[in-house]
Amino acid sequence: MTKYESKRNNFIRLFYVRDGIKHKSSMEPMDIFYQILHEDLNPLTSQTTQKFNSPNSKNQKPNHELTKEENNSEKTERYTFYENLLSDTLKKVKRDIHNKVFQCIDDPISINSIIQNHQILLLNYCKVIEQNYLPDDKNEKYQISEDKSITDIFKLIYQTLDAILNYLEISFPKYLEPSLEIPYQRRLWYVHQKKERCRLLIAMLNALDIPLQLTEIICDPLNKIIDNDLSGFTYQKKEYYSVYIKVLFKLLSKDTIVVEDVYAVLISLEFNTFKIFFYLRDEYISKKIKRTYGAQKKINILHQFLKEIKTTTVTSSTKYNPNFPSLKEQLLIWIREEINALQRTMESSSPASVKEKITGYSQNTKKVLKLSVSEISLITRLLYEQGMLEGSKKTFFEFLSSTYITHKTKVISPESLSNRYYSIPDSTKISVKKILRGMLLKLDTIQSET
């Protein structure tokens, strides 16, 4: 009996026999991975510090005295031990999970907890192996070398953990936590399925007459799939990438494409990277604003952008970066801030504002007219039509706006005065007639005094 056979037998006895009575241990099958990574079953510590209960263990030579052939034999023996142990463990864990779920078949919340707790634990164990025991090129997780080294054993452990994650996805998909990573096997299969379509999309994008910088931003997720550079590839990201590829292919298959179509698709897909936000802000919106003269014209253009983005429907249920703000919302916020800034600039440079700066005149010093806005407009019209006022009506409306308020209207805009200038309700005509009669009566009183 070899020392690895002896070790396996001892492990089986510990697992099934306690206090001299044969029965299945209460130890969870998943606990074996804890022992492998942290206790006596660790491939690194167990081989150098622990004696196995083999009849020949006392007479064994130290490792440095073993021949090359003996070393190779021991490596193979050790690898086979873990291979058998992990194969048996995989079966036990699957059966254990199945039994636990079956016991909670009428309690979806408990099933959620079971599946997601296993997800978290398995992914944490995978990270421990990746960070501490695997080489830098982690794309070789499924490549076992001929010499069956310690690294190969840790790859075998990783593969077993990944196989359990794969089992969870196949057997209990609706109970998985979507913000957690998908199994490595499933990731490799996803890359294999999508790689050629991604290459085709990149070729189609390069053939378009759009800026190179924009092409590089759009191609970034496609290149990540081709290179299998998908660190932290969660179920959410998998869903997003699939929709991204599908919608992009549909767009690029059109006979004619304008760059605005591309922008609209990226916004609707919530492709919320910092690069695309700054690109749309600086290369698309700001450049058009800078080529326009006059604050009001710039505001008008910004309002057009505001309308375009607001009417772009978000079709994706997830975002490219789930923890980042929405691309659509960030663009809307930025445009509104630009509009407000331009409006403040216009107000500070208007004649009324200059007057405020020179004389200290402000909103608080405006005079109250005991008239409605409609009545002010009608009286202004009468003054113009009687030849008592001349010049620009717009300028006079601005003067009234900056000088007066009413009890009901704290800000009389020139536009509201202009709109009511010709559109006069009958009620306003009646009230103004009453005012004029009152003025005539007052005039008669004044005349009688003299």
* Minimum mean pLDDT range among 1-15, 246-260, 357-371, 432-446: 1-15
Q: What percent of the chain has pLDDT over 70?
A: 84
**Is pLDDT above 50 for 50?**
no
pLDDT-based confidence at 191, cuts 50/70/90? very high
Average pLDDT, the chain: 83
Residue 223, pLDDT score: 96
* Minimum mean pLDDT range among 131-135, 138-142, 179-183: 138-142
Distance CA 267, CA 280 (A): 10
Which range scores top for mean pLDDT: 57-71, 72-86, 160-174, 356-370? 160-174
Phi, psi angle pair for 17, to nearest 5°:
-120, 130
**Is pLDDT above 70 for 217?**
yes
Q: Is residue 115 a contact partner of residue 101, using CB atoms and an 8 Å limit?
A: yes
Residue 117, pLDDT score: 95
* Minimum mean pLDDT range among 209-218, 285-294, 368-377, 409-418: 409-418
Average pLDDT value for residue range 25-49: 75
Distance CA 383, CA 376 (A): 11
**Is pLDDT above 70 for 59?**
no
Q: Is residue 29 a contact partner of residue 96, using CB atoms and an 8 Å limit?
A: yes
Residue 24, pLDDT score: 39
Distance CA 180, CA 173 (A): 13
**Is pLDDT above 80 for 136?**
no
- Total count of residues recorded for the chain: 450
Which range scores top for mean pLDDT: 47-56, 63-72, 282-291? 282-291
Average pLDDT value for residue range 405-428: 83
**Is pLDDT above 70 for 229?**
yes
Average pLDDT value for residue range 328-335: 93
Give the number of other CB atoms < 10 A from CB of residue 260. Answer: 10
* Minimum mean pLDDT range among 6-15, 59-68, 264-273, 315-324: 6-15
**Is pLDDT above 90 for 44?**
no
pLDDT-based confidence at 22, cuts 50/70/90? very low
Residue 361, pLDDT score: 46
Give the number of other CB atoms < 10 A from CB of residue 428. Answer: 20
What would the pLDDT profile of 251-297 be if each residue is shown by its tens digit?
999 988 889 999 999 999 999 999 999 999 998 899 888 888 888 88
Q: Higher-confidence residue: 12 or 384?
A: 384
DSSP one-letter code for 281: I
**Is pLDDT above 60 for 321?**
yes
Residue 5, pLDDT score: 54
Residue 203, pLDDT score: 95
DSSP characters over 301-354: HHHHHHHHHHTSPP--SS-SSTTSPPHHHHHHHHHHHHHHHHHHHHHHHSHHHH
DSSP one-letter code for 253: T
Residue 262, pLDDT score: 93
Q: Which residue in 9, 149, 140 sits closest to 84, CA to CA?
A: 9
Distance CA 301, CA 291 (A): 11
Residue 158, pLDDT score: 94
Q: Higher-confidence residue: 115 or 25?
A: 115
Q: Give the chain's count of helices (H) and strands (E).
A: 19, 4
**Is pLDDT above 50 for 167?**
yes
**Is pLDDT above 80 for 48?**
no
Q: Higher-confidence residue: 416 or 303?
A: 303
Q: Which residues contact 158 (CB under 8 A, 6 or more apart)?
A: 126, 129, 130, 134, 141, 184
**Is pLDDT above 60 for 56?**
no
Cα first-last separation, the chain: 139
**Is pLDDT above 70 for 57?**
no
What would the pLDDT profile of 345-383 be if each residue is shown by its tens digit?
887 765 555 444 444 444 557 888 888 888 888 898 888
Residue 89, pLDDT score: 94
Collapsed DSSP state (helix, strand, coil) of residue 429: helix
Q: Which residue in 45, 36, 43 sits closest to 77, CA to CA?
A: 43
